[in-house]
C-alpha cells in the first residue's frame, strides 16, 4: 500500500547510504520497493547536516548498478549508473549533483550482455566490476 496514510511498513520503504560528496557523511537514498522493477527505482536523496536532512534531488537507479566517482573538476559529486532499457540494452550514465538536483552529464546506450568480449560488456565491467553482471 502506497498512500499518504501508509505506515513505513506498508509503504515498503527501502534505503541505503552512500557518501557521494566524499565529506565523510553518507547521503541517504530512499525508495519504495513497491515501485521498483528490474531496471531500478526512483530514489529521493538527502544530505545530512548535523541532525537535519536536506533534499538534494531524485535519481533513478538500481543499487547494484551504481558507483560513486571522484569529485568533478567543479568539486561536485559524480556518480555512474546503469538502467535496463529492454531488448538487451541499457543506458550507462554519469550524473552530477548541484545540491538541488541530479543532472546527467553524459550517457550512452550499451549492450552489456552481448558477449564477454563486446564493447558494452567491457564498459559495464569497467563501471561496476567483473562480478556485478
pLDDT confidence of 1, banded at 50, 70, 90? Answer: very low
In a domain, 2, yes or no: no
In a domain, 108, yes or no: yes
Number of domains comprising the chain = 1
In a domain, 133, yes or no: no
Q: How far is CA 35 from CA 23, 32, 43, 45, 123, in A?
A: 31, 6, 10, 16, 28
**Beta-carbon contacts of residue 62 (< 8 Å; ≥ 6 apart):** 39, 40, 41, 81, 82, 83
CA gap 133, 111 in Å, rounded: 12
CB 90 within 8 A of CB 84: yes
In a domain, 28, yes or no: yes
**What range defines the domain where residue 115 resides?**
8-128
Q: Which three cell numbers stand for residue 125?
A: 565491467
62 or 26: which carries more pLDDT confidence? 26
pLDDT tens digits along 72-120: 999 999 999 998 888 888 999 999 999 899 999 999 999 888 776 688 9
pLDDT tens digits along 11-61: 788 899 999 999 999 999 999 887 777 788 899 999 999 999 999 999 999
In a domain, 94, yes or no: yes
Instruction: Give the model's pLDDT for residue 67.
Output: 95
What are the E-state strand segments in the chain? 13-18, 27-32, 41-49, 52-61, 66-69, 78-86, 89-97, 102-110
In a domain, 3, yes or no: no
In a domain, 82, yes or no: yes
Instruction: Give the model's pLDDT for residue 112.
Output: 87
Long-range contacts for 121-126 (Cβ within 8 Å, ≥24 apart)? Answer: 123/92, 124/82, 124/92
CA gap 18, 25 in Å, rounded: 8
In a domain, 1, yes or no: no
**127 CB neighbour count, 10 Å cutoff:** 20
Amino acid at each position: 500500500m502506497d498512500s499518504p496514510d501508509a505506515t513505513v511498513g506498508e509503504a515498503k520503504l527501502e534505503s541505503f547510504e552512500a557518501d557521494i560528496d566524499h565529506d565523510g557523511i553518507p547521503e541517504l537514498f530512499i525508495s519504495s520497493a513497491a515501485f521498483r522493477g528490474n531496471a531500478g527505482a526512483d530514489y529521493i536523496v538527502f544530505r545530512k547536516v548535523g541532525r537535519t536532512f536536506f533534499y538534494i534531488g531524485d535519481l533513478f537507479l538500481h543499487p547494484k548498478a551504481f558507483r560513486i566517482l571522484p569529485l568533478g573538476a567543479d568539486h561536485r559529486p559524480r556518480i555512474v549508473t546503469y538502467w535496463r532499457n529492454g531488448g538487451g540494452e541499457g543506458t550507462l550514465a554519469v550524473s552530477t549533483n548541484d545540491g538541488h538536483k541530479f543532472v546527467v552529464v553524459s550517457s550512452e546506450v550499451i549492450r552489456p550482455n552481448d558477449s564477454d568480449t563486446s564493447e558494452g560488456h567491457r564498459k559495464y565491467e569497467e563501471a561496476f566490476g567483473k562480478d556485478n553482471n
